[in-house]
Amino acid sequence: MISIKSSREIELMRKTCSLASQTLVYIEPFIKEGVSTQYLNELCHEFITKNGAYPSPLNYRGFPKSVCTSPNDVICHGIPSEDVILQDGDLLNIDVTTYLNKFHGDTNKTFLVGNVSDEHKKLVDVTYQCMREGIKQVRPGGNIGDIGAVIQEIAHSHGYSVVEDYCGHGIGREFHEEPQVVHVGKKGTGPKMKPGMTFTIEPMINMGNKHTELLDDDWTVVTTDGQWSAQFEHTILVTDDGFEILTIRPDEQVNF
């Protein structure tokens, strides 16, 4: 069952999602060569809790930290660590989920550390474009499959692959609700979108093959060929005439 949020619930979703997006704005200046992902985790934890919220990943199915930090060939669910020190040229995805007033808001961004190569910058740009065009498919009467169809088309046109083992998801009172939002697919397939639905769109795009491997820590998901991966994520509301990006940041308004 896909929950339809009431206007009161939507107001609470706007609040938690706004805090999640502000966390990404807050953390950006700290992301540089020489800092550990554990340090970034601590700063995000402090920011989220000082704003009266709980970091949803912490103890979620045993996840030990407050945000996910996924560099380079880590596709998603990287665990912050003192031992992971950012280097010039790295990519780093930080995935923030906040729990405020009983509602979750989920967003992530891939940041550039120092001087990133042109080929990796292009991966990040195309991944953002995949998310943006996927979001633009959202409208009442459309199908969830419309989203994956455009994402797949864009990624493949650049010779990239789309991760299929992890997907977007409904979100609200639960961190992960129905529907699943797969980032590949066919237009006109999947559940119909209705006003009041809230779900994430969070494509993971790989430079090499689409396959994933789970490390021994049972969380970290990496590429099987060592090539790099990027991701962006927003929480989206289906409105009466299209979409609202609940986790949009001020620097992004220009893109939509």
Instruction: Give contact residues for ligand MF3 (rule: CB under 6 A).
Output: 57, 60-61, 63, 68, 77, 95, 97, 106, 200, 202, 219, 233
- Cβ distance 150 to 137 under 8 Å? yes
How far is C-alpha 7 from the geometric centre of its chain's CA atoms? 24
Q: Which is nearer to Co ion, 73 or 233 (CB)?
A: 233
Contacts (Cβ under 8 Å, ≥6 apart) of 3: 170, 172, 173, 177, 178, 197
DSSP string, 12-80: HHHHHHHHHHHHHHHHGGG--TT-BHHHHHHHHHHHHHHTT-EETTTTGGG--SSSEEEETTEEE-PPP
Cβ of residue 168: shortest distance to ligand MF3, in angstroms?
8
60 binds, among ligand MF3, Co ion, none (CB under 5 to 8 A by kind): ligand MF3
Residue whose CB is less far from ligand MF3, 6 or 201:
201
Considering CB distances under 5 to 8 angstroms, the limit depending on partner class, which of Co ion, ligand MF3, none binds residue 54?
none
How far from chain centre, in Å, is Cα 11?
21
Interface residue list for Co ion (CB under 5 A): 95, 106, 108, 200, 233
Q: Which does 146 bind (CB under 5 to 8 A by kind): Co ion, ligand MF3, none?
A: none
Q: 238 with 179: CB under 8 angstroms?
A: no
CB of 19 to Co ion, least distance (A): 14
- The CB-of-63 to ligand MF3 minimum distance in angstroms stands at 3
Residue 57 Cβ, how far from Co ion at the closest point, in Å? 8
CB of 99 to Co ion, least distance (A): 13
CB closer to ligand MF3, 55 vs 196: 55
Which CB sits closer to ligand MF3, 77 or 132? 77
Report the residue number, 88 or 165, with the smaller CB distance to Co ion: 165
What is the rounded CA–CA span in Å between residue 45 and residue 174?
20
Q: Which is nearer to ligand MF3, 57 or 190 (CB)?
A: 57
CB of 115 to Co ion, least distance (A): 27
Torsion sign, CA atoms 17, 22, 25, 28: negative
Residue-by-residue DSSP string for 132-183: HHHHTT--TT-BTHHHHHHHHHHHHHTT-EE--SS-EEE-SSSSSEEEEE-S
